[in-house]
Structure 1
Amino acid sequence: MKLNLFFIILFVVLGAQLLKAQNSEEEKLFIEAIESRFNDPYKSLKLYDYLLKNTNTEESVAIEIKKLQLNRLLGEYEEAVAISQKIESTITNSTSTDLQFEYWRELATLYNDLNLMGEGNTVYEKALNSYNNLNLNLKKKYAIDLSLLKVKYLKPEQTESKISGLKEILDKMDDKDERKPFIQFQIAKLYYSQQNDSSRLYFNKIIRDFNVKPLSQASRTYLNLNHTDSTEYQKVVDNLFDVELEAVLLNKAIQYWSIKRNEDSLMVYEKRLQNYFFEKNQSIRNAKVSLIQGVYRKKQKDNVEKVLVRNRQLYIVIGLLGLLLLIYFGNRYFRRNRVDTKDDIDDSKGTVISDKTEEEILEKLRKFENSKLFLDKQLRIASLAKQLGTNTRYLSSVINASKNKSFNAYINSLRIQYIVDKLKSDAKYRSYKISYLAEESGFVSQSSFTTAFKEITGSTPSAYIKNISD
């Protein structure tokens, strides 16, 4: 027994250590993927794909957001859109405020890259709102990300403001921040068309200060574009964080061969530039269509859900109104049946009637009993008093004194006696349904008829009919 317990403890400890080691390894790979983004983006994507196989939902969403960013930077817009749509519902339902901010920030940047500014402004507002929902520590963590997004959403003609904003961000960044060379590359590109000296300064800083191969290679390419060596224009560099560089190189080559008047080479590069724009525009168009279709589908889904919610609310309101009406009419019926008894009792208290008046009322009641007016379902003490030419207090007092019954009990006894006489004298009445007998005798419901019948005869209508039939 002790040996078995020892092995169980041993297995638990080893399992915990293996799990801890696995988690530690995955954390290392995640950090490596982040650090490789601007040096070897495709290696970073492979690491993210590997990590996605062994992660929970929240961790997988965080990795998908990183993949979205990389695909966007590499110009793989269709893949970026697919990722954004894949995780949107998870993000919407997530309680993680930092993941929500990262997602809306990346999506807003994607809209900007695709030049969907109208829709992008809506997403940009969501990013700002999600940032405001962060706690103080997270706001400090994502302050630079928010600043980069704001610079991104400056108008294209605001080049100076963009450069100034990126420089301010650089000054605030930690030296170990892996995004630093990429931001310097953006500044160098903004300077490229305006100030060659400033542009060269930043391109050279990337080459000198950072070991970031794609950005360094792109920087060297931009620096060499001022040379007249035509071979440089024939090279197309892949895997760079600059989707515009290929077009720049091809245009330079076209300019060069145009000056050289080499029609064959000129046609080759013009054809390549034409194919480049066709493929790029096709890719961007597909991404835009996919993104807009996703927004449209979401709106349709939201509208359907709104209609369903509205219908559910309508059904609830109708149900409540129906219930209230049922309670109202039920209470009204109950009170109507009770009020006559109450009035009957109250009106009879302390009422003094002359013998002559009492005799006149009794005579009228005898005529009433022979007239079958008691079968009227709408009969009330007030209506009967009016028929007899008296008031409810006198009528109630006479009925209580002479019949020893309340008004309702008196009327019910007349009705039950009427139907009992019918059952005894006419055999066909015994074959009628109880509901018909209730209707025939002036009761408003079968249940009230059955209750009154049993109180007066001592048995239910069915039992009574069976007894007299036998």
Structure 2
Amino acid sequence: MKLYYFIILLFLSITSISAMEASFQIKIESDSIKSSSLKNKSFEALNSLFWKNRNDTILIKKIALIYLSKAKRKKNYIQIANAYRIFYELNKKKPNDALKYTDSMIAIPKDVKDIRHPALGHLLKGLILYRNEQYDKALESYLQSQKYAEISNNLSIIIALKHNITLLKTALGKDHEALNAYKENFAFLLSQDTTKRFRQHYLATLYKLSDSYNRLKLYDSANFYLKKGIKSSLSGEHTYYYPDLLCAYGVNSFYRKKYNTALDSLQKAMVLLKENTQDANVRITYLYLAKTLLKIGKEQRAVGYLKRVDTLIHESNYMLENREVFTLLIDHYKKDKDQGNQLKTMEKLIRLDSISNIKNNLLNNHIIKNYDTASLVKEKNQLIKRITYQNKVGLKTEYLLFTLSGIIIMFIFAFLYYNQNRRNRKTQEIPPEDLKQLHKKKATTTSNIDLAPELKQKIFVKLERFEKNHEYLKNNLTLTSVSKSLKTNSTYLSKFINLEKKKNFVNYINDLRIDYCTKQIEENKKFRQYSIKSMAQEVGFNNIQSFAKAFFKKKHCNPAEYVKRTKNQQL
């Protein structure tokens, strides 16, 4: 049940992995649990036993074999897929083997109506590819998983996919975009069960949130989430992401100049991570151990760690955050006048940078084309559906309102006619001199509504500053709140906008926002990549519907069309 149940496998494709299964053929003895008792257990019971006994290697291999054998015998393709999910868990640290099991999970027969398992298979495949720095292929797998997950509305996988695709943006150095995505995920997870069902997602998000804050040099914010993550990780049965959180805490402590704390955290992380030298955090841990040791004057130990991580970095796993390993080594060799190693290290760095640039450009284009743009198109289509629905509902509502309005107007006319007759009768009873005084008061009240020239000038100057400072981009603006901020009367402000701007307050604010938005679309390439929802929030709207309606009113097209038109014009 981890990322919950897991799917599918061609009964006919078993030959491709028979060699691996053979490697798990062990002599079943009556040690902790007898083979006969395992064979009589249900799939659910076997699955539960597997997850509860993760540390008993012999037992879980036994469970995996019995589970698969039972599923094959019953020709239950969904349970065969679950069995391969278990075999995937047993082989996570053997990428080639693990990939074959994910492929088997994906290969579901067409007549089996279950799409949860292909979604999971593609997700796990993408995860293995990501860990091996095959980012472009990882993205392809994630996008395939997304198709299945959205059809079945598999919330767990959808959250994991968003998280993992954001990891790719982090790899490209898009730290602001990544942080926003992690914050959205975190906000959603806070409304879910983070103690059991989504605990692993919650801890992963805490880790990446803190990592993003570290990258953006917001070290106090990073420290807050790191402490929260470490405490949460240690409080559960499984200490998910504890080594990664320790590594990030060490990095954070280094930048906060707490070098003893950094050294302690990084050394603990290294002990927990060293089993898997393919883990990117192993390289980060070695690098920051070296940097910390340099800060406290232990250069020789530092250089030892730098040389160690140098041997772990190659063309397929090089990342820009590892670049400092080589620049520090180059400085060391330069200082020692070791020109041979200095040149060798420089040549390696140049080669790695060149390959990294090509790889990252391909990934960047792929993400924009197949994920960001796809999300934008999907959001656009959803918006069109909502608008179409609202229009249909609107027509019915308008008809009903028209009928009701007619009835109400008839009552109003009757009421006004009755009141007018009453007033006429009362007026006839008022003495002539009192009647003159009453008309004089009415005339005075009406003339007082006009704005004095000096008052007009003051409001003009204040509104000009309001527009220049883009204060109209704030959320939840009202006539009253703007009047208070401008230190003027709401009646005067409303009248000024009506007279000078030839529009009411709401249209005035909306037009300013849409003008700002279109300018950003035309001039800001990053802004053009935002989703419609993000654009709306950025310019002060609380929801997509009001944004789209205001945009169409001003520009006679929807935001997505305007973005597309702008892109075409700039080609």
Pairing 1:268–2:344 present: yes
C-alpha spacing 1:240/1:142, structure 2 compared with 1 (3 Å): same
After superposition, residues 198-213 of structure 1 pair within 5 angstroms as 198-208=261-271, 212-213=275-276
Q: Pick from 247, 254, 268: which aligns with 1:185?
A: 247
Q: Is the CA contact (8 Å cut-off) linking 2:253 and 2:262 kept in structure 1? A: yes
Aligned to 1:197: 260
Alpha-carbon offset, residue 191 of structure 1: 3.7
| Alpha-carbon distance in structure 1 between the residues aligned to 2:273 and 2:70 | 42
Unaligned runs of 5+ in 2: 1-68, 292-298, 396-571
TM-score (norm: length of structure 2): 0.43
Unaligned runs of 5+ in 1: 1-13, 319-470
Q: Is the CA contact (8 Å cut-off) linking 1:74 and 1:243 kept in structure 2? A: no
- Classify the secondary structure of the residue corresponding to 1:138: coil
Q: Pick from 97, 122, 147: which aligns with 1:89?
A: 147
Aligned to 1:429: none
Aligned to 2:107: 53
Q: Pick from 24, 30, 35: which aligns with 2:85?
A: 30
Q: Is the CA contact (8 Å cut-off) linking 2:330 and 2:342 kept in structure 1? A: yes
Aligned to 1:165: 225
| Alpha-carbon distance in structure 2 between the residues aligned to 1:178 and 1:43 | 23
| Alpha-carbon distance in structure 1 between the residues aligned to 2:193 and 2:119 | 20
Aligned to 1:279: 355
Pairing 1:296–2:373 present: yes
Q: Pick from 224, 229, 238: which aligns with 1:176?
A: 238
C-alpha spacing 1:233/1:242, structure 2 compared with 1 (3 Å): closer
After superposition, residues 435-446 of structure 1 pair within 5 angstroms as none
Task: Mark the structure with the bigger radius of gyration.
Answer: 1
Map Cα deviations across residues 90-124 of structure 1 (whole Å, 9 max, x no partner).
33333222222222232333333333356546645
| Alpha-carbon distance in structure 2 between the residues aligned to 1:152 and 1:52 | 32
| Alpha-carbon distance in structure 2 between the residues aligned to 1:235 and 1:287 | 25
| Alpha-carbon distance in structure 1 between the residues aligned to 2:95 and 2:248 | 17
Alpha-carbon offset, residue 209 of structure 1: 5.1
| Alpha-carbon distance in structure 2 between the residues aligned to 1:222 and 1:308 | 51
- Structure 1 window deviating more from structure 2 (17-26 vs 109-118): it is 17-26
C-alpha spacing 1:211/1:254, structure 2 compared with 1 (3 Å): closer
Pairing 1:145–2:204 present: yes
| Alpha-carbon distance in structure 1 between the residues aligned to 2:336 and 2:374 | 53
- Cα RMSD (Å): 4.6
Alpha-carbon offset, residue 78 of structure 1: 1.6
| Alpha-carbon distance in structure 2 between the residues aligned to 1:209 and 1:315 | 60
C-alpha spacing 1:240/1:89, structure 2 compared with 1 (3 Å): closer
Letter in 1 for 2:157: L
- Classify the secondary structure of the residue corresponding to 2:231: helix
Letter in 1 for 2:163: R
- Structure 1 window deviating more from structure 2 (275-284 vs 242-251): it is 242-251
After superposition, residues 98-109 of structure 1 pair within 5 angstroms as 98-109=156-167
Aligned to 1:76: 134
- Higher relative CO (Cα under 8 Å, sequence separation at least 6) belongs to 1
| Alpha-carbon distance in structure 1 between the residues aligned to 2:87 and 2:225 | 29
- Structure 1 window deviating more from structure 2 (24-33 vs 149-158): it is 24-33
Map Cα deviations across residues 287-321 of structure 1 (whole Å, 9 max, x no partner).
11111112335545765787799899999999xxx
| Alpha-carbon distance in structure 2 between the residues aligned to 1:242 and 1:183 | 22
Pairing 1:127–2:219 present: no
Map Cα deviations across residues 99-157 of structure 1 (whole Å, 9 max, x no partner).
22222232333333333356546645663575467568635564323433433443611
- Classify the secondary structure of the residue corresponding to 1:212: coil
After superposition, residues 195-344 of structure 1 pair within 5 angstroms as 195-208=258-271, 212-214=275-277, 218=283, 219=285, 223=289, 226-227=299-300, 228=303, 232=308, 235-237=311-313, 243=319, 246-294=322-370, 295-297=372-374, 299-300=376-377
- Structure 1 window deviating more from structure 2 (229-238 vs 173-182): it is 229-238
Letter in 2 for 1:63: G
C-alpha spacing 1:20/1:240, structure 2 compared with 1 (3 Å): farther
TM-score (norm: length of structure 1): 0.51
